[in-house]
Amino acid sequence: MAGHLAKNDLQETHEINVTPFIDVMLVLLIIFMVAAPLATVDLPVELPASNAAPHEKPDKPLYVTIQSDLALALGETPVKRADLISALEARGGDKSRRIYLRADTAVPYGEMMAVLERLRAGGYLKVALVALDAGGAKGP
């Protein structure tokens, strides 16, 4: 009886092959490890806290950053104080666009006011100050 199978030949194996699952997880891990640093701002600034209600953030905000060593940056590009307005105009020059001013907590108030005054003199009147949420504000 050549066509007759033994009873033991038809048993099912109840094992799960986890190798493809591990491969997928490793690929996802690598993708997130590469993508996570790209989603953060590279300029280290210690922002002060605020209790004000947060506003909606635009798709591509334009940040002017004052670092603790009083260096200025437009976005993530360092810029000299005298070249701030020309750098803003090179990025489109839309004076009705809101500019977000980030300043380290170590920056003296006078230095922040000097940058605000330079922006006002250049015609950029819509300036928002960026702060960390202190936890007391309730958003819309």
In the predicted structure, residue 27 carries a pLDDT above the cut 90: yes
Q: Where are the domains of the chain?
A: 62-131
The whole model's pTM is what? 0.58
Separation CA 113–CA 119 (nearest Å):
10
User: Which residues lie below 8 Å from residue 26, measured CB to CB, with a gap of 6+?
Assistant: none
Average pLDDT, the chain: 81
- Mark 90-104 as b/e (b = at least 16 C-beta within 10 Å): eeeeeeeeebbbbbb
Mean pLDDT of 26-55: 78
Spatial separation of the C-alpha atoms in residues 122 and 74, rounded to whole Å: 15
Instruction: Band the pLDDT of 79: cuts 50, 70, 90.
Output: very high
Q: Domain 62-131 adopts which CATH fold?
A: Nucleotidyltransferase; domain 5 (3.30.420)
- Asked whether the predicted pLDDT for residue 128 surpasses 80, the reply is yes
What pLDDT does 28 receive? Answer: 93
Helices (H), 6-96: 19-38, 84-90
Distance from first CA to last CA of the chain, Å, rounded?
80
